[in-house]
């Protein structure tokens, strides 16, 4: 029996089932072990104020390290840039649609939202990039699972939402007035759309089982994006985006670092051979820092420390 650790949300279970189904096709018995994480237990808190996105994986990684589960399944964008000692990412599943989607109560997409319309998102990245595109909108923090946020939209609490296309697809949801935003306009978060499998570094058997699920293109994109994130020292306190894709055999990457209000947005693009994915990510990050990103990140950190 292979025990898969996962968050307990409907989306996390759907993602874990992708891994479970693949393992079952290889003839293995699989049990899902759902867990509530600290991030799930703090549904109203702003992540930047309570420890960042690592809150969504900490308990699962602790269970993996302790041997209570054999493998862990995560949304890659929920993971900090560095894995804890003793744990390794062994499989990057084929990437689902990485775009953000504007879901609104009326048709017409982003351009049709009136000045002063209220848009809900829990992401500093989405807040900053939306602020850069439409500074006349009011962006408010909105957490909860996808269904909860869609209900708040239907109830009129907000005029629109920004959600991940991958989450909607994996849940089989197709809300009306859902408009995907191009990745070159609203650059996705590092790892967005990628499901990963994590194992203990000393568990050769579990690593071998999971490695069969690895997608080389997804892995190369993820390595570049996470290397960029790591070099920037970014967390949920800094609006940052990093997205790589394979174009004509080359890895093309864009990195973005922004002020939280979107009034200043730094953007760098570069390409490399897929074998040099991590070097590409570091190079993009270095260019961002040299262009003023170090100052932006320092201001974000100072702002958090000064906040009550």
Instruction: Specify whether the CB–CB gap between 18 and 93 falls below 8 A.
Output: yes
Residues paired with 251 in a beta bridge: 246, 272
Quick one: which H or E segment has residue 206? helix 204-211
Cβ count near 133 (within 10 Å)? 16
- Mode of pairing for the β-strands spanning 195-200 and 87-92: antiparallel
- The structure tokens 């009129």 sit at 156
124, two tokens: 């500093």
Instruction: Specify whether the CB–CB gap between 192 and 77 falls below 8 A.
Output: yes
Instruction: Specify whether the CB–CB gap between 179 and 97 falls below 8 A.
Output: no
Q: Which residue in 70, 78, 97, 100 is the catalytic one?
A: 78
d(CA 97, CA 183): 10
Quick one: which H or E segment has residue 163? strand 160-164
Known catalytic membership, residue 78? yes
The 3-state DSSP class for residue 162 equals strand
d(CA 253, CA 307): 34
Instruction: Specify whether the CB–CB gap between 238 and 300 falls below 8 A.
Output: yes
Catalytic site positions: 78
């Amino acid at each position: 029996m292979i025990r898969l650790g996962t968050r307990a949300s409907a989306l996390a279970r759907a993602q874990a089932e992708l891994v479970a189904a693949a393992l079952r096709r290889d003839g293995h018995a699989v049990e899902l072990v759902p867990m509530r994480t600290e991030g799930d237990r703090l549904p109203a808190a702003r992540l930047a104020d309570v420890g960042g996105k690592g809150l969504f994986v900490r308990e699962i990684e602790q269970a993996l390290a302790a041997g209570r589960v054999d493998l862990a399944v995560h949304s890659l964008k929920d993971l900090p840039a560095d894995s804890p000692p003793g744990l390794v990412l062994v499989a990057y599943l084929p990437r689902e649609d990485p775009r953000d989607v504007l879901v609104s109560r009326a048709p017409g997409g982003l351009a049709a939202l009136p000045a002063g319309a209220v848009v809900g998102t829990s992401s500093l990245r989405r807040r900053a990039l939306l602020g850069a595109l439409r500074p006349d909108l009011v962006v408010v923090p909105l957490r909860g699972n996808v269904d909860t946020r869609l209900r708040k939209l239907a109830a009129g609490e907000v005029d629109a939402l920004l959600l991940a296309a991958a989450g909607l697809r994996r849940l089989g949801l197709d809300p009306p007035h859902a408009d995907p935003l191009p990745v070159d306009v609203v650059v996705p978060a590092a790892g967005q759309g990628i499901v990963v499998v994590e194992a203990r570094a000393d568990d050769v058997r579990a690593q071998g089982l999971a490695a069969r699920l690895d997608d080389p293109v997804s892995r190369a994109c993820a390595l570049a994006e996470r290397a960029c994130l790591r070099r920037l020292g970014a967390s949920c306190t800094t609006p940052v985006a990093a997205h790589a894709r394979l174009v004509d055999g080359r890895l093309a990457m864009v990195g973005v670092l922004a002020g939280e209000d979107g009034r200043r947005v730094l953007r760098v693009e570069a390409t490399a051979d897929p074998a040099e994915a991590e070097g590409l990510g570091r190079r993009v990050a270095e260019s961002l820092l040299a262009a003023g990103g170090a100052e932006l990140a320092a201001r974000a950190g100072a702002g958090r420390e000064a906040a009550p």
